[in-house]
Amino acid sequence: MTPEHTREAREILGTGPLLVPEQHVVLDADPVRAREAARTALTNYFGMANYRNSWLRLGFTEDEISDGGSDRFVDAVVVHGTPADVAARLAEHLDAGADQVAVQLVAGEPGEPVEDGFARLAAELGLS
C-alpha cells in the first residue's frame, strides 16, 4: 500500500493499535525492469476486491489498476530503485504513523536471491 493509505489507517485506528503496513520493494534502479518485476508481484492482488477497492479509494482509476496497472499506479504501490530510495519510502510510512513496515522484497532479476537484496537494504538502514 501507499504511505497515504498508512496515514488513513492510523487516523482510523488511533494511537493504540499496532500498525504494520506491507511495502513491496524492487531493488532495481532501471524503472522498466523494476516495473515489470512489480507487475508480476502484483498479479494476485489485481484479482482481490479488497485491494482494488482500496486503490480506488486512494484515487486510482479502474484503467490505472487494470491490465497490469499504469506506471503511476505501480510506482505508488511498489517502491523501486536503490536501497536509499527504498529507505526513503519506508520512512514515509513511519512518518504517516506506521509502527513498523513489513518489507516484501521482489527479485528484480529472475533467479536473483532476495537475501542479497535484504542485506543491501539492511546496510542502508543501519541494521547490519
* pLDDT tens figures, 71-97: 999 999 999 999 999 999 999 999 999
Residue 1 pLDDT greater than 90, yes or no: no
Q: Which domain holds residue 77?
A: 19-124
Residue 108 pLDDT greater than 80, yes or no: no
Residue 9 located in a structural domain:
no
Residue 112 located in a structural domain:
yes
Residue 11 pLDDT greater than 80, yes or no: yes
pTM of the model: 0.90
Distance CA 106, CA 38 (A): 7
What letter would DSSP give residue 99?
S
- Neighbour tally for 95: CB within 10 Å: 11
Would you say 78 and 103 are in contact if contact means Cβ atoms under 8 Å apart? Answer: no
Residue 14 located in a structural domain:
no
Domain count, the chain: 1
Residue 63 located in a structural domain:
yes
Residue 5 located in a structural domain:
no
Residue 117 located in a structural domain:
yes
